[in-house]
Structure 1
């Protein structure tokens, strides 16, 4: 399982870097000045300008729109939802840049206060909090709030213009307003509502969860209920399955109560480590297909 988490972290870091660098490399951005989409280093045109100039006819521009806009969009959405239907919110748990920040801030806040959210009333059992981590927690949220606001602006305007204006203190009033407002909102979300946003505010995650819930054979964390008594011997703390989930879910719950599960596997890692120390098999495991269907049926029967 540790190897699984290392691979997941590597994917998260790689996708986070891609998210930050994509506009600068013209991999994906929309230039508001030119009303031009850039994709994989190329101008992505639908032929409308050529049609207006009389270079192509109506049939050709309609075919271009179909092949370059409608078909790719439909295939992308369908493929994305198919993955979610089969395996759940893999994008959230394995790629999403925001969720990687959620996990990072969770760890810092846990060290600072013994809690995974500032709204928690009870502390997680474990080492005493260290106040110095409050600076790390707040500084990380503010820093990445700023980085995200700049990055979002480069998806809409030429990155050279934005970074040049920032370094020379010559950004336009509208750019400055966008930067400050976005910085404030993103930082506040990371500080106070990151879990709530992931669970209820993110449309990407919400539709993945809907697709996953519609499939009784989809990948799910299964709990060996006949061996539930073994869980009484688990030591409570940040490394237990009850506190391992970065989405604040209880992994031994039934699927309909795990709507926001991102399939990160951290609860499985915690369960495996706890039971291995006592020479036992873990009570949590991933199941898919027929085994997942059996788990769903058992949940419906209450057993």
Structure 2
């Protein structure tokens, strides 16, 4: 069940990344700086200001065009997006966001290189997988970490440029090795900045700098009935048998470096990726009572929300 959930999540991430890549190519969504208008679902999307500047319509009609063609769609889309977040949390981040996909990929590479998912982790994580098998790492993986990060950053820079300029021009110039000066400057600067962000600050960006994630978290925190990771506190003693030396598989699984059994306000940036649930289910696979972590909502979210953060010396829940 949990492996199936993670495979499903990966399929959603890959599908959305393909959409992120191909949307400009098929004019599904982009703004063309050369043409001076946007594209939406294959059609030109104009605000109707050209007619106003040419004197063919008045100020009131121009204002109505801006309201109906820009602000109304934006507000409607934002409202739907936040209503989803209010009910299910940062679902976009954990299941669709291309940036979070990169976060997870680089986390995995760094784990293989150093035993730590981030450069800012104080110590290497305990050397066990969720199923209790040894976790292996080797410094030789650093030879892949940095190049992979630069490749991710370069790909993002090029894709972002296609949202501003005709994709055929951007990809054609790159293929021929003849990007314009401005294109080369954009790609070079953006690749450098993203490489630094992916290497050193990807978690910090997701937790503190991403406006999309922040607004999702705010509306989610305001709804006490929203879906949240719940912990069966009455079975806290089972955590002692999770991994050797009373370590917790769920703590090691979170790509945002959160403690999944903590209270909701300390899970502000939870992305609902369910990796902690999968790790718990794997580590408790032989437990007749099943996993201790599960998604809960509505009244159960109020009653069964994770309510404490056990220390290393006390994981009994007593």
* TM-score of the superposed pair, with normalisation by structure 2: 0.89
Matched, 1:163 2:171: yes
Structure 2 CA distance for aligned equivalents of residues 290 and 278 of structure 1 = 26
Matched, 1:289 2:290: no
Q: Which residue of 2 aligns with 1:149?
A: 157
Structure 1 CA distance for aligned equivalents of residues 181 and 43 of structure 2 = 30
Deviation at 1:191, TM superposition (A): 1.1
Q: Which residue of 2 aligns with 1:280?
A: 289
For residues 1-303 of structure 1, the aligned pairs below 5 Å read: 1-53=2-54, 55-56=56-57, 58=59, 60-126=61-127, 127-235=135-243, 240-295=249-304
Q: Secondary structure of the equivalent of 2:31?
A: strand
Inter-CA distance 98–236: structure 2 relative to 1 (3 Å threshold): farther
Q: Does structure 2 conserve the Cα–Cα contact (< 8 Å) formed by 1:216 and 1:296?
A: no
Encode CA deviations 1:10-43: one digit per residue, 9 max, x unaligned: 0000000111111111111111122211111111
Q: Does structure 1 conserve the Cα–Cα contact (< 8 Å) formed by 2:32 and 2:166?
A: yes
Structure 2 CA distance for aligned equivalents of residues 297 and 261 of structure 1 = 13
Deviation at 1:132, TM superposition (A): 3.0
Q: Does structure 2 conserve the Cα–Cα contact (< 8 Å) formed by 1:86 and 1:218?
A: yes
State the number of aligned residues.
Answer: 301
Deviation at 1:236, TM superposition (A): 5.1
Q: Which moves more between the two structures, 243-252 or 30-39?
A: 30-39
Structure 1 CA distance for aligned equivalents of residues 18 and 145 of structure 2 = 21
Structure 2 CA distance for aligned equivalents of residues 103 and 92 of structure 1 = 11
Q: Which moves more between the two structures, 128-137 or 225-234?
A: 128-137
Structure 2 CA distance for aligned equivalents of residues 298 and 265 of structure 1 = 18
Structure 1 CA distance for aligned equivalents of residues 8 and 303 of structure 2 = 29
Q: Does structure 2 conserve the Cα–Cα contact (< 8 Å) formed by 1:223 and 1:284?
A: yes
Q: Does structure 2 conserve the Cα–Cα contact (< 8 Å) formed by 1:209 and 1:259?
A: yes
Q: Secondary structure of the equivalent of 1:29?
A: strand
Q: Which residue of 1 aligns with 2:314?
A: none
RMSD: 2.2
Show structure 2 runs of 5+ residues with no match.
128-134, 309-316
Q: Secondary structure of the equivalent of 1:193?
A: helix
Show structure 1 runs of 5+ residues with no match.
none
* TM-score of the superposed pair, with normalisation by structure 1: 0.93
Structure 1 CA distance for aligned equivalents of residues 87 and 122 of structure 2 = 36
Q: Secondary structure of the equivalent of 2:284?
A: helix
